[in-house]
Every structure is written in C-alpha cells, then in structure tokens.
Amino acid sequence: MEKEQFQKRKKMIYDFICDALYVPMKIKEMAVVLSVPRERRRELEEVLDALVSEGKVEVSKRGRYSKAEGKFITGTFLSHRKGFGFVVVEGEAEDIYIPADQIRGAFHKDVVQVALHPSAEGKRREGRVEKIISHGLTHVIGTYESSGTFGFVVPDDARILSDIFVQKEHSKGAVGGHKVIVEILDYGSKKKKPEGKITEILGHSNDPGVDILSLIKAYEIPLEFPVRVLNQAERVAKDVSGADMAGRMDVRDWQTVTIDGEDAKDLDDAITLTKEDGVYCLGVHIADVSNYVQERSALDVEALERGTSVYLADRVIPMLPHALSNGICSLNEGETRLALSCIMKIDEKGRVIDHKIAETVICVDRRMSYTNVKKILEDNDAEVIAAYEEFVPMFALMKELAAILRKKRMQRGSIDFDFPETKMVLDKNGRPVAILPYERNVATKIIEDFMLIANETVAEDFFWQQTPFVYRTHDKPDGEKIQKLATFIHNFGYSIRIGQDEVHPKELQKLLQKIDGTPEELLISRLTLRSMKQARYGTVSTGHFGLSAPYYCHFTSPIRRYPDLQIHRIIKDCLRGRMQEKRIEHYDKILPGVAKRASEMERRAEEVERETEKLKKAEFMAEHIGEVYTGVISGVTAWGLYVELPNTVEGLVHITSLTDDYYVYLENTYELMGEATGRRYKLGQKADVIVVRADTMLRTVDFELVKEGEEHGHRQREADCEQ
C-alpha cells in the first residue's frame, strides 16, 4: 500500500473502532462489517497491526480489537541471556522488566504488547507479555551442529535463548562447526523449539575471519557493493581534467601535507599553514567527494544506506567503493585533487577573525604519518627531521597554533576524555598476537584541533546563513544523572556546581583536571562520560555540550561519513547560488531523514566495532589462562568486580569467587565490603588477577583475585601483554 493511502485507511479503521456504537470484534467480523473481500484481509490486518504497535488499539486474548484504554503498552522485547528480558518503549527513558516466567514465548526483538504489574513507588516497572505483534528477527547467525537425521543452530547471540531446529533437507549441506545464517520458519513455543532453514554458509568456525564475518552479518552490514554501484564508481573516478578545475581556487602551489596513520588509505583531509603579522592562515582542505557522488545516483543511495565506514580489527568496510575512497577522492601525494576548503585567519588568541569556504584544486606535497610528525616535534629525531627538512617549520607552526586553539577550547569548558583506544595486532590468520593501548600524541592532537576548528567555523557560517543544514549536536546531560554523579564524587572529596538541574561543561572539565593522575581518575572519568548523552545528527543547531560549542557539524570526512557528504552538497549549492526556494524545500524535506539514518548507522557501526574488539580480546586472553596481571578495578557491581588491564582488556571477578568473606554491594560508593573482615574493593584500586576463563562466544573474560601474600605460582605478564 502507498504510504498516503495506508495512513487514510488507518484513520478510517481507527475512527470506526472509536465509534460509540462499536463493539470489540475479531478481524473476520470486522472484515464482514466493512465489506473487505477475503483477498484483501491481509491489508486490514496490516492496518490493525500498525494501530496496535502505535498503542492506539488493543487486542484481547480472544483476538478482539478495541480502542486502547492504557491497559497495554507496546514496545520492543529485548531478551537477556539469563532468561528474563526488557521491553523498550519508544520515547520513554525507563524500560519495562519482564521476568522469565512472564515472557510467554516472546523472541528477542519482537514487538509486543505488555500489561504492567502494579509496582511500589520508586521501583522499576515490571510487566507481562500479553501479545506478540510482530517478529523483529527473521534470520539468526550461529554454529550448525549435526545430529543424524536433523541438525540445529546454536545462536551466536546469547540473548536468543533457544537453539534452532533444522531439518536435514533445510541444512544446505552444512556440517558440524559451520557458521551459518538460518532463516526462522517457526518461532516455536514452550514445548517446541524454533525451526528454520539455512540460507548461507559463512565458513567453518575455525576458518580465518569467519568470526568477524559472523558479526558483520549479524549486524546486517553490507559487505559487497552492488555491481551497478561499482560500475558507476569506475566511470566517475577519472583523473582531474581542465574542465573539472574551471572556476575553482587553485592552491596547488601552497605547501600542503596530509597527516594520518601509517596504514590509512582514504586520505580525506590535507593541511596548509602560514603565519604573517601575528595572524595564522590555516587551510583545511577536504576531498570534494560530492563532485563524484551525485545526489540520487546509485553511489549516493548506497552511501546513505551504509551511513558510515566501519573499522574492524581485520578489515575496513567502506561507505564508498575503493575506486573513490582509496583513489580519486583520496588526497594522495603528488596528485592533483578537487577539494572543498575552509581557509581561516586565526589570531594569536585562537579567534577566527576571517574565513573563506571555497571549491579548490590542491596537490599534496608530502604524505606524513602521525609517528614521523611526533618524531620531528617531540623526539627531535635527527634522521626524520633531515628527511622532511623543508616541512619542519610548518610542523612547528602547527604545534604552536594547535596549542593556542586547544587552550581557547579548554577556557570555554570543552571536555577532553583521554581514554586510550585499543590497537590490535593480528597474525595472517586473524588471531590476535598483541593488544596494546593506542595513545594520542602531539600529531593526532594537531589534526584533531584543526578539524574541530574547521567544523565549528563551517557550522557557524551556515547557521547564520539560515540555510537547511545537518548539525552534530550533543545535548545537555540529564539532571538526575548529574545529581547522582555529584553525590558519588562527594565521597572522594570532589564537587561540581549544579544550577537548576543543569551543569556547565566547564564544571565537568574542572573535575577531570582535578582527578588527573589520581587512583580514582579512571572511575570518575567513566562515570562522568556515562552521565552524558550521546551525540547525534540533527537539522537544528542546539549546540555541542561536550565541546562547549554553540555551533558544530561534521564537514571533514565525506569519504567515510554521509552527513559530511550531504553538507558538502549544501555548501556547493550556496557557493554556486543555487540555494533558491525549491532547493530549500528539497533539503527541508530530506535532511531530517538523512540525520536520523546517519545517527542510526553510526550506532550500529559503534556496536559492531565494540563487539569485534571484545571478541578479539577474549580470543587473546584464552591463550593466557592461568597467567597473572596487574590491573585496576574499573567497575563494581552487585555481581562482582570489573578489572581493566593496561592493554585495555576488561574482565569480571565474580562475587562468588571472593570466598574469604560475605560481600555486600554499597551502591552509593560503588564498593564491595566484606561483612566479617571489613575489606573493601573500590573503583580505581589496583588488583592482581589470574585469568581463569575467556569465552569467545559470549565475548567475556573472567578473572580471579590473587590474594595478598598468596603463593600463586603463575608467571607475571608484562604490562603491554604481548605474547
């Protein structure tokens, strides 16, 4: 059904149900009354399902439809591997807890109707599944196990609580140990397992890369590009011609460099920098991807569908085909390239006193790595300095300007969380041989500072032009969470000023500065981060709380982020005088959907990146069972202690393994305290742990504490945890 027609039918059916003379009816009865022919009853069912999912209509146990009177709530059921679950209701902050015996056949990600149980004031809501409206999962990734005349698939996702039965004729020739995708044919019941058929064999679970491939498939991230998209990429990826350069600002004679990681292939930003009469001229030149990816083209539709590139331990899944991302759109050394440039005049106090946004032609003189720039600016490496002698003055100028910009940002209250990222070293079979913390250095910070100022400058420019735009927004934290944070840090002798349930980012920045280098730094930093909201894309500039910036956008990475590509199109329409009424209407119509899609795809990418990292960490630690490490307690819960190692691996010490006493959880101070001994385990405390378990299926690591003075006879590992 067309969307408009579907909405009309929904209104008609809802009005019918709301009529004073209406009595609750089943679908068949309603079809007779409304003269809906048998062959169109499916359409009636779809309309009724939509009304139920919106909470406007309720269904009784006998299948009779009536106007919703608030007895039921509709939401998405999320199962927990321990048997219970939660129902997430759109627009509501609090989930509904569903005990194991109240799930009533609901499957992970089903849309369900829930009846709330009466609950005491202050207690979390609890309910019972009354009806399954629709199934959210149609395919499951798992390991096939053969059992004579049939088989079954053990799901990778522990939240799917049952194995899936597969008849032999539906096994597609799979053998035991194969990673497969199984389509669910029957969702089962209390007495019967779900049943399915295998649609794809990904490979054997021991084959290199199959573990990560399984995660990619589970998150429905497209791997291959459609042929028409690849063909279009090849057609448009032509060398820059004279016609391409016509009308553009030619800055090929400006000393220009890219600074990226050694293994980066999609180089989408280049830098130029000079200083004259106390004023810096900073050029941030971004690959003009929009020149090659035209709106509504096959390339554009695919890029919007993907939303972002995904960076995993063993591969990158790009938003655009390699012909573009690693080719004509990559600002490669010595190659003429089209760019969109933000050229800023910045005074010695870090203020942007003038700027120009222009379509340009550039040519990168040198491709630099973060490592070599660090060797020049911090290590004073004579050999590297000699190799890049003509660029050294510009790098020194970069360090100088970046420090000014950072100081100005800090003065206004920008919050800088400096958590170490994880660097994975894999062998040719995809097995982790080292897991190291990836620290930011002077070079990474320079690029970060320059990208931030360019993004802010572009966002402010277009905010005041009042044109349709895509902003990167970060809302103020929830007042209740900030109050909880303030209560907690008070236990450590810290405080933050809160005015009318609001906190200024400068207060959180001051807090992070106070805890720098203290045992509780990691703990309070994490809790501060968790008290904040997630950044997202939107069409209204509500500011960026974390950066303490009134205007912010993503302009600097159009190769790997769709919002940046969309912004480039808007900028070029404005530069070329095309932002007329029709074009404004067009952007007003499409941009909310673009922002929503980009935010969703960003979350998906973050989740699969996080799960891949956890998988490889568990795989790495599985080779170190019985070994002892020194870590820091990074989390305290009622079920145990989380300990983080210097290599960023985090594992759980189960409370049941703390056998020297009966421990109680002190919620206000995040501590476990022994009732008899008075021993306390708290966040930020150092802990020696033995690796006792590593589960690659659940992607978890379990530790046990080494007690003081205890002879453990295990080999102590080095801090970097390399093999």
In the chain, where are the structural domains located? 3-67, 72-134, 139-207, 227-472+547-609, 477-531, 625-705
Top-ranked range on mean pLDDT: pick from 31-45, 103-117, 278-292: 278-292
The CA distance from 627 to 631, in Å, is: 13
Does residue 89 carry a pLDDT above 90? no
Question: For the CA atoms of the chain, what is the radius of gyration?
Answer: 29
The amino acid at residue 578 is: R
Q: Is 470 in a helix, a strand, or coil?
A: coil
- Secondary structure class of 4 (helix, strand, coil): helix
| CATH architecture of structural domain 3-67 | Orthogonal Bundle (1.10)
Predicted confidence at residue 709, as pLDDT, reads 58
For 391, other C-beta atoms within 10 Å of its C-beta total: 20
Mean pLDDT across 624-639: 92
Nearest residue to 572 via CA among 360, 306, 392, 318? 360
How confident is the model at residue 244, as a pLDDT? 94
Asked if pLDDT for residue 145 goes beyond 60, the answer is yes
State the average pLDDT over residues 618-642.
93
Selection from 210, 194, 72 nearest residue 133 by Cα: 72
Q: What is the mean pLDDT of residues 222-239?
A: 96
Integer Cα distance of 184 and 164 in angstroms: 8
Residue 74 has pLDDT above 70, yes or no: yes
**The dihedral of CA 342, 348, 349, 354: what is its sign?**
negative
Average pLDDT over residues 375-398: 96
pLDDT at 163: 94
Higher pLDDT, 685 or 229: 229
CA angle 205, 208, 209 (to 5 degrees): 85
Express each pLDDT in 490-540 by its tens digit: 877 898 988 766 788 999 999 988 888 787 777 788 788 888 889 999 999
Q: What distance in Å separates the CA atoms of residue 661 and residue 208, rounded to the nearest whole number?
A: 44
Three-state secondary-structure class, residue 358: strand
One fold for 72-134 and 139-207? yes
Contact 654, 702 (CB under 8 A): yes
**CA-CA distance, 166 to 181, in Å (whole number)?**
12
Q: Which CATH architecture has domain 72-134?
A: Beta Barrel (2.40)
Cα distances from 37 to residues 9, 22, 51, 680, in angstroms, run 15, 20, 21, 71
Neighbours of 3 (CB within 10 A): 7
Which residues fall within 8 angstroms of residue 645, CB to CB, at 6 or more apart?
A: 629, 630, 631, 651, 721
Instruction: Residue 684: name the closest of 633, 622, 614, 609 by CA.
Output: 633
Q: Which pLDDT score, from 0 to 100, does residue 628 have?
A: 96
Burial 372-384 (b: 16+ CB within 10 A, else e): bbbbbbeeeeeeb
State the angle between helix axes of 442-465 and 562-575 in degrees (0 to 180), rounded to the nearest 10: 50
DSSP calls for 497-557: --BTTB--HHHHHHHHHHHTTSTTHHHHHHHHHHTSPPPEEESS---BTTTTBSS----S-
Question: pLDDT value at position 653?
Answer: 96
Assign 645 a pLDDT band (cuts: 50, 70, 90).
very high
Torsion, Cα 580 586 588 589, to 10 degrees, reads 160
**Mean pLDDT, the chain, integer:** 91
DSSP letters, 122-140, are TSPPBEEEEEEEE-S-SEE
Q: State both tokens at 576.
A: 């070329």
- Distance, in Å, from the CA atom of 168 to the CA atom of 192, rounded to the nearest integer, reads 18
Contact of 515 with 521, CB cutoff 8 Å: yes
pLDDT for residue 722 is more than 50: no
- Predicted confidence at residue 62, as pLDDT, reads 83
pLDDT over threshold 60, residue 720 = no
pTM of the full structure: 0.85
CATH T-level assignment (fold) for domain 139-207: OB fold (Dihydrolipoamide Acetyltransferase, E2P) (2.40.50)
pLDDT band at 723 (very low <50, low <70, confident <90, very high): very low
Q: Which of 565, 537, 541 is nearest to 304 (CA)?
A: 565
Q: What is the mean pLDDT of residues 440-449?
A: 94
Give yes or no for residue 360 having a pLDDT over 70.
yes
Averaged pLDDT for residues 269-281: 97
Q: What percent of the chain has pLDDT over 70?
A: 96
Report residue 120's pLDDT band, with 50, 70 and 90 as the boundaries: low
Domain 625-705 CATH assignment equals 3.40.50.300: no
**From the CB of residue 623, how many other CB atoms can be counted at a distance below 10 Å?**
13
Please say whether the beta carbons of 331 and 267 come within 8 A.
yes
DSSP-H helix ranges across 139-279: 210-218, 227-236, 242-245
Residue 420 · residue 608 · CB < 8 Å: no
pLDDT of residue 710: 56
Question: Quick one: pLDDT at residue 439?
Answer: 76
**Residue 639, beta-bridge partner list:** none
Q: What are phi and psi of 379, to 5 degrees?
A: -90, -10
Please identify which residue in the block is written with the tokens 């990146």.
609
